[in-house]
Amino acid sequence: MAYTVLFFATLLCSTPSAHAVQSQFELPQNDVFAQQNQFLPVDEAFKFEFQQKGNELTLMWDIADSYYMYQHRFQVKSAVKLAEQPELPSGEAHFDEFFGETTVYRDSVQITYTLHSATTDQEFVISYQGCADAGLCYPPTEKTVYLTAVQGEGGEAIDFAQVAENSQQNTSSFFDTISEKPLWLVLLMFVVLGIGLAFTPCVLPMYPIISAIIMGQSNNATKQLSTRRAFTLSLAYVQGMAITYSLLGIVVALAGLRYQAMLQHPVILITLAVVFVVLSLSMFGVYTLQLPQRWQNYFNQLSQSQRGGAHSSVFVMGAVSGLIASPCTTAPLSGVLLFIAQSGDISIGGAVLYALSVGMGLPLLVFGVTGGKLLPKAGAWMNTIKRLFGVVLLGVALVLVERLIPYVVADWLWVIYIAASVVYLAANDLRELSTKAAARFTAAWIAIGAVLIVSWWPQPHHSLPFEQVSSVAEIEQALQRAERNNQLVMLDLYADWCVACKDFERKTFADETVQAATSDMLLLQADVTLNSPENNAILQRFQVLGLPSIVFFAQQQEISRSRVTGFMPPETFTEHINALKTR
């Protein structure tokens, strides 16, 4: 138990390193919330009216002085059949830190939709967004219009999805599919997805923590910890982790990728890596981490006298553990955040993130309940497990820093790490275990090491010939050039801290079939590692919630339902490219 408490004390002591980089991520100096009385409510800033005459529906907004609305943020969000695509009125050019170069409306705007058919009281939902010149941007707002019946007069109807190109948020087919399912089924699917995430490198160190908690609560050798007690302690730990991880996900969804990037800053990653190295060396027996005896006695008395106190302490440990998991789960979390953004419901989004977190915690719960029964209390076998945990912790440190170095160097580091780990584990087992047990463990380490070395053995990489772009203006110029040349455009949004981005480079972009499929496309890459104002403008312009994100364009417009978020293997990516070319 002492080791566990010191683990989190060490982690919390890394906080000053986070503050050291705070200056690079400062919020605007003008506190919008302190000045909130200066701003109009959204319905007063953008007064909405509508009028329907036959099959023509006219939507009108009266825009207050010093306020404006974005042209590209108008989006129909209901299944209404249109006779023709609406023509948005021209506006004025505008540049801001959120969307870069864009078009806005001031004073008033009017949009007319020609309906193909509609039933009485059928809902027509329109979403829009605007800002104040003083610096406040309102969240997207929806208005619902109840239509009068319109009889179709022949001709082919246009589904609202064909005009949804005004929206720049496209989710993957997986999230499109589950968004149509009942909520209980969606939650169940995310629980299953969370179980898969439970075996990611940053979650693995939680297993020895759970083991330490269970065995630490069973200090009396004559009294074994009951299954019920082990279950409630493990459940408290998992709930702490799940709630923290859920809240963190919602904060990231609301605050944007800028703050997600801050959590992936090199200083933060290196600090966490050092913590894991320190902990791994303790597992290797280099030194012993423990609290002073006075503190140990205090915590032992607290645990024995207050059953609830032990559970609350374990809950706090789980809560801090939720922060540890975030660096390794950025890619899958990005897809979940896109799902939240698409649904537009934070309460549902919070439930989805909680279900994902519970799924991550289920294997930990099972391990905690069975660990006190199955793990031996002492002996050479436990020393082997302790060393294995040390190797895992050292691997987590490598996972954290590999995104900061060239992937070829990272591959060689993995090969060296795996080979050294096999030699270390095998040598100690041969020295401490019986001949039969040592032979079994050694054979297992060699077999596992051989498979891993083959997987990580460095291969020659020939990535795609990207043209680097660093601003919204450069991207728009490239899109204009591609339109003149009748080319499709692929924009890869990349950052050094993004592990899945490096997987794209190492596996997908290096594949010959992918290179052949993209040979006639204009390939752009925006490196947003620095989190600079130009980087943020690109991310905001294309509504990027997580990396990697790959956006496809035709005729200067993003191709609907084409965006790739998260890693995609070469075969699937090639099929995706070929499908876009046939549209």
Pull the structure tokens for residue 539. 């991310």
Q: Which fold is adopted by the domain 41-166?
A: Immunoglobulin-like (2.60.40)
Would you say residue 471 has pLDDT above 60?
Answer: yes
Would you say residue 165 has pLDDT above 50?
Answer: no
| Encoded amino acid at 249, one letter | G
Q: Which DSSP symbol is given to 278?
A: H
Would you say residue 520 has pLDDT above 50?
Answer: yes
Most confidently modeled range among 23-32, 160-169, 483-492, 554-563: 483-492
Whole-number Cα distances in Å, 126 to 43, 48, 168, 260: 14, 11, 15, 30
CB atoms inside a 10 Å sphere around CB 560:
16
Name the band, by pLDDT with cuts 50, 70 and 90, for residue 277: confident
Would you say residue 80 has pLDDT above 90?
Answer: no
Name the band, by pLDDT with cuts 50, 70 and 90, for residue 416: very high
Whole-number mean pLDDT of the chain? 74
Crossing angle of helices 435-456/380-402, nearest 10°? 10
Under 8 Å between Cβ of 125 and 77: yes
Got the DSSP string for 112-147?
EEEEEEB-TT-EEEEEE-EEETTS-BPPPEEEEEEP
Would you say residue 203 has pLDDT above 70?
Answer: no
The domain limits of the chain are 2-24+175-265+286-377, 41-166, 467-581
What pLDDT is recorded for position 214?
58
Which residues are registered as beta bridge partners of 81? 117, 159
- Express each pLDDT in 225-238 by its tens digit: 677 777 888 888 88
CA distance 141 to 178: 24
The residue-averaged pLDDT of 211-227 equals 57
Q: How many residues does the chain have?
A: 583
CA distance 189 to 177: 12
Spatial neighbors of 314 by CB under 8 A, at least 6 apart, are 213, 233, 236, 237, 240
* 122 vs 500: which has the higher pLDDT: 122
First to last CA, the chain: 60
Spatial neighbors of 371 by CB under 8 A, at least 6 apart, are 210, 211, 214, 215, 230
Lowest mean pLDDT among 52-61, 78-87, 171-180, 399-408: 171-180
Q: Which DSSP symbol is given to 505?
A: I
CATH of domain 467-581: 3.40.30.10
Name the band, by pLDDT with cuts 50, 70 and 90, for residue 485: very high
- Express each pLDDT in 304-358 by its tens digit: 444 444 677 778 777 776 665 554 554 455 555 555 544 445 666 677 778 888 8
Three-class DSSP category at 494: strand
Would you say residue 480 has pLDDT above 60?
Answer: yes
Lowest mean pLDDT among 22-31, 244-253, 542-551: 22-31
CA distance 285 to 282: 5
What pLDDT is recorded for position 295?
56
What pLDDT is recorded for position 561?
82
Pull the structure tokens for residue 440. 């079994």
The residue-averaged pLDDT of 36-47 equals 78
Would you say residue 25 has pLDDT above 80?
Answer: no
